[in-house]
Structure 1
Amino acid sequence: MNSLIFLGTGDAMGVPRVYCDCDICLEARAEGINRRFRSSVMVDGAAGQFLIDCGPDWRKQMELIGQRFTHKILVTHAHFDHIGGLPEWADACRWTGTKGEMYAPLVVLELIQVQFPWLSKHIDMIAVDEGISLAGWKITGWKVNHGHNGYSYAYRLEQDGFAWAYCSDSIGLGTEEKQPLYGLDLLVLGTSFYHETAEYSTRSVYDMVEAEQLISEVKPVEAVYTHMSHHVDVRSNYPLPAGVVLAQSGMKLILEKE
């Protein structure tokens, strides 16, 4: 049975913020329901498993699910909150004598190699620009607008008639960028706020109000919001569209047709 496990559901800084004493950070600091590591998911099934992204909380995320190693990681973009755990993963590869496999578009691999030039000693870097198959999933990626932060990549994954997409870091998607989001059984979408009031030109991720418009257009069967800041309280009763829920650490979804 194929499943999706949310290892991290937070934005670039995670929750709680180290400097913050807001109600949500205080609740999270007490190991509450709002505690969020940087966004990452595990895709697990009979044909294998892989992670999407490897942020600086990777080691803690592995420990919390009782797993000591992962062999394959698919990366969305080369921002620290999505690749900060790669040196620890490479060190684990070194000490276990296992060559890791990292998958990403070529431009992302090149940026990672600039930041961590020694990773290739312990990790095979595999470009996915022409698509890839991992753990039985047919995966295609495409560049998406990341607003003030440039660009990221989203991925559409298909197997046995089930289609889902992971789009953690995007905003204001254009017509072509939206096309792979149609016909989905599940959309995992980054929404850092319920409603963000900052000047639009300074922003980089959808808020939930904007996401509702996207959901109404592409019409996934279900959707999960992730990549949430300390302005989101999962205890709150936000007016979300039908079939939409907020991700929580450790949440597990079945990736198969009912």
Structure 2
Amino acid sequence: MNDQQNLSPVNIQFLGTGDSMGVPRVYCNCAVCEEARSGGVNRRLRSMLLLKGLDGDNRADDVTLIDCGPDWGRQMEAAGLRRIRRILITHAHFDHIGGLIEWADACRWTKEKGIAYAPQEVIDEIKGRFPWLDRWIEFRAADEPLQFGSWTVSCWRVYHGHNGYAYAYRFEQKSTGYAWVYCSDSIGLDESQKRPMMNCELIVLGTSFYKEPYPFHTRSVYDVKEALELLLELQPAEMLLTHLSHDIDSTRNYELPAGVHFASSGLERSLGGNRA
């Protein structure tokens, strides 16, 4: 087998980097929301990630999403996408699954059944709320590692604080050990939950605030200060911060360490593959 020759990179693109409410907030006239309202860099749709080339077959339709929030239609249009092959789902909160209804309707009209991967408990929650979705979306359990091309994809349960639980995804090319992680909704991870995030080139982590002022027991996502502590412990080559609220001002210089950046809509990375 020529596994080394067949290794292909996956290209990721952020289609949304906002938290559960997005930016601007309808009710808010803070400086960040006003800048976003004028079409500025702080305008953020709900967090969603596009992956191209996960199967490594160079097909134009080799596209995958992580999550499917209520901004799905606008995000698809902005990315120039008319169809999506599959979606990986992190958890069943509305800002991560609200677009499944629109996707199912698109699948109905195109007569192309979509495939959604998620842990079984997440699938059960979704189908409990929307029992008719499986007419046009095939739900497949992701409790065991999945294989797409040269990429092994595994997920694990992470603490989501006051909001319960979510799942993070690790993407790894076993023959080279190249790995990256997407963990949009988590806080206070214990050692077992942090272990799959070690030895990664990239960690995409959700951080809604720079320094969240509310009591810990009421919170659900890391803040930037805590993410930087996690960075020192896990030491990825790069950390991209997503799931950003209107507390984060992308026009401001936060003097983040080298390799740490706030993700923005349209930001792309090429990950893995043969790197001579």
For the superposition of Structure 1 and Structure 2, which TM-score range results when normalised by the shorter chain? over 0.9
What corresponds to 2:263 in structure 1?
247
CA–CA distance in 2 between the matches of 1:133 and 1:80? Answer: 27
| Stretch of structure 1 that moved more, 151-160 or 164-173 | 151-160
Please list the CA deviations of residues 209-244 of structure 1 after superposition, one character each: whole Å capped at 9, or x if unmatched. Answer: 001110100110111000000010111111322210
The equivalent position to 1:53 in structure 2, one of 67, 84, 89, is 67
**1:67 partner amino acid:** L
What corresponds to 2:158 in structure 1?
144
What corresponds to 2:6 in structure 1?
none
| Stretch of structure 1 that moved more, 151-160 or 109-118 | 151-160
Q: Secondary structure at the match of 1:216?
A: helix
**2:187 partner amino acid:** I
Q: Secondary structure at the match of 1:28?
A: helix
CA–CA distance in 2 between the matches of 1:135 and 1:42? Answer: 17
Please list the CA deviations of residues 186-217 of structure 1 after superposition, one character each: whole Å capped at 9, or x if unmatched. Answer: 00000001100111110000000001110100
Structure 2 gaps of 5+ residues are: 1-8
Does 2:235 correspond to 1:189?
Answer: no
Pairwise CA distance, 1:136: 3.8
Q: Secondary structure at the match of 1:241?
A: coil
Query: Does the 8 Å CA contact 1:140/1:156 hold for their aligned counterparts?
Result: yes
Please list the CA deviations of residues 132-170 of structure 1 after superposition, one character each: whole Å capped at 9, or x if unmatched. Answer: 123542101000000000000001001263210000000
Q: Secondary structure at the match of 2:75?
A: helix
Q: Secondary structure at the match of 2:51?
A: strand
Structure 1 gaps of 5+ residues are: none
Q: Secondary structure at the match of 2:108?
A: helix
What corresponds to 2:216 in structure 1?
200
| Stretch of structure 1 that moved more, 127-136 or 183-192 | 127-136
**1:170 partner amino acid:** S
**1:192 partner amino acid:** S
Q: Secondary structure at the match of 2:84?
A: coil
Q: Spell out structure 1 runs of 4+ moving beyond 6 A.
A: none
What corresponds to 1:232 in structure 2?
248
What corresponds to 2:10 in structure 1?
2
Q: Secondary structure at the match of 2:233?
A: helix
Pairwise CA distance, 1:117: 0.7
Does 2:109 correspond to 1:101?
Answer: no
CA–CA distance in 2 between the matches of 1:138 and 1:171? Answer: 25
Query: Does the 8 Å CA contact 1:49/1:135 hold for their aligned counterparts?
Result: no
What corresponds to 2:84 in structure 1?
70
CA–CA distance in 2 between the matches of 1:35 and 1:100? Answer: 29
CA–CA distance in 2 between the matches of 1:168 and 1:255? Answer: 18
| Stretch of structure 1 that moved more, 41-50 or 10-19 | 41-50
**2:13 partner amino acid:** I
**2:193 partner amino acid:** E
Q: TM-score, normalised by structure 1?
A: 0.97
Task: Report the aligned-residue RMSD.
Answer: 1.1
Does 2:134 correspond to 1:126?
Answer: no
* Percent of aligned pairs with the same amino acid: 54
The equivalent position to 1:82 in structure 2, one of 68, 71, 96, is 96
Q: Secondary structure at the match of 2:211?
A: coil
Does 2:226 correspond to 1:210?
Answer: yes
**1:92 partner amino acid:** A
Query: Does the 8 Å CA contact 1:104/1:127 hold for their aligned counterparts?
Result: yes
Q: Secondary structure at the match of 1:156?
A: strand
CA–CA distance in 2 between the matches of 1:256 and 1:177? Answer: 23
